[in-house]
Amino acid sequence: MSKQANSQDYDWLVKVIVIGDSGVGKTNILSQFCDAKFSITHMATLGVDFKIKTIDVDGKKLKLQIWDTAGQERFRNITKTYYKGAQGVILTYSVIDRQSFQNVDGWLRSIQENTNSSDVQLVLVGNKADMSAERQVTLEEGKKMSQQYNIPFFETSAKSNMNINEAFNNLAFRIIQTLSKMQTNEEKQNLNLKPSEGKDKPKSESCC
């Protein structure tokens, strides 16, 4: 996280990672959010890719550096390094792939192991909600899991752009709240470190 003090381009630069099993639609979620594009052809992400998008949230300009990570097991150790410095996570499963939903627990453990989880904001996303005929995970199951872990939840469709912006904006709003709170605490600490004028001066002794 970094604060841009002398530029009007953005107020905060933050890192967001999109994680989840291979094939759940992470790349299309990112493409739809950043470029308003969707590709029918699926090509697995190799390692990691990222895009940049600046959005206005709560009166602040937030520059998002969004990392699209590979979901395949053979890349799992590589992508662990990309947790470092992340302020936000979009944890994704596919509503037409029950195994990807069951693997959410493992991804949450990975987040806890590789981040200071108290400072990282999460959103749970059930993607491919437009494919109702092939659905394997119900909306109620997604809600139940989000309540279990106390994580905001959205069913999305990268194809129809359903709830994509809403999921990212929800995450960004809570990141802003966290960063603002951290900044306030830092300012208080710095203020407390400054010597208070007059209070610590020894009193002069007087005989009369």
Has residue 85 been placed in a domain?
A: yes
H-type helices in the chain, by residue range? 26-35, 76-80, 98-102, 104-114, 139-149, 164-193
Non-local (6+) Cβ contacts of 201 within 8 A are: none
pLDDT attached to residue 46: 53
Distance CA 79, CA 92 (A): 15
Q: How far apart are CA 73 and CA 137, in angstroms?
A: 22
Q: What is the pLDDT of residue 47?
A: 54
Could you tell me what percent of the chain has a pLDDT over 70? 78
Per-residue pLDDT band for 65 (boundaries 50, 70, 90) equals: very high
What's the structural domain count of the chain? 1
* Residues 76-131: tens digit of each pLDDT: 665 667 888 999 999 999 999 999 999 999 999 989 988 887 889 999 999 999 99
23 within domain boundaries: yes
- Whether residue 122 contacts residue 104, with contact meaning beta carbons closer than 8 Å, is answered with no
Contact 20, 68 (CB under 8 A): no
DSSP bridge pairs for 53: 64
- Structural domain contains residue 14: yes
Q: Is residue 125 part of a domain?
A: yes
Structure confidence by residue, pLDDT tens digits, 148-159: 999 999 999 999
Domain that holds residue 135: 2-170
Specify the residue for token string 């029918």: 40
Cα distance between residue 196 and residue 176, in whole Å: 31
Residue 6 lies in a domain: yes
Q: CA-to-CA distance for 81 and 63, rounded, in angstroms?
A: 21
pLDDT in tens, 168-204: 999 999 999 988 887 777 777 767 665 555 445 545 4
Residue 195 forms part of a structural domain: no
Assigned domain for 193 exists: no
Of 96, 71, 68, which is closest to residue 157 (Cα–Cα)?
Answer: 96
Q: How confident is the model at residue 208 (pLDDT cuts 50, 70, 90)?
A: very low
Is 71 part of a structural domain of the chain? yes
**Cβ neighbour number for residue 62 with a 10 Å cutoff:** 26
CATH of the domain at 28: 3.40.50.300
Q: Which residues are 89's β-sheet partners?
A: 17, 122
- Over the range 75-93, which residues count as b (16 or more CB within 10 Å of their CB) and which as e? beeebeebbeebbbbbbbb
